[in-house]
């Protein structure tokens, strides 16, 4: 997921070259770091029948 997020964003940026590369990288790092910060130690799927 992280590799895909960075690869797709990088491909998009190569086409448009805006905003500045450093700004795009800052947003990617922020999303990856803060988006993953509160992951559960033992995730499980919830059964909709219970």
27 inside domain = yes
24 inside domain = yes
Measured CA to CA, the distance from residue 50 to residue 48 in angstroms comes to: 6
42 inside domain = no
Residues 6+ apart with CB under 8 A from 5: 28, 31, 32
Contact present, 19 and 26 (Cβ < 8 Å): no
- In total, how many domains does the chain have? 1
Q: Domain range for residue 17?
A: 2-31
Q: What is residue 50's predicted lDDT score, i.e. its pLDDT? A: 57
pLDDT in tens, 41-50: 898 888 876 5
Contact present, 6 and 30 (Cβ < 8 Å): no
48 inside domain = no
pLDDT in tens, 2-36: 899 999 999 999 999 999 999 999 999 999 888 88
> pTM of the prediction?
0.69
Cα atoms in the 13 Å half-sphere on the side-chain side of 26: 5
Count Cβ atoms below 10 Å from residue 12 Cβ, excluding itself: 10
């Amino acid at each position: 997921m992280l590799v895909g997020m960075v690869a797709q964003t990088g491909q998009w940026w190569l086409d448009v070259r805006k905003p500045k590369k450093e700004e795009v990288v800052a947003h990617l790092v922020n999303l990856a770091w803060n988006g993953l910060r509160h992951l559960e130690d033992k995730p499980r799927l919830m059964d909709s029948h219970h």
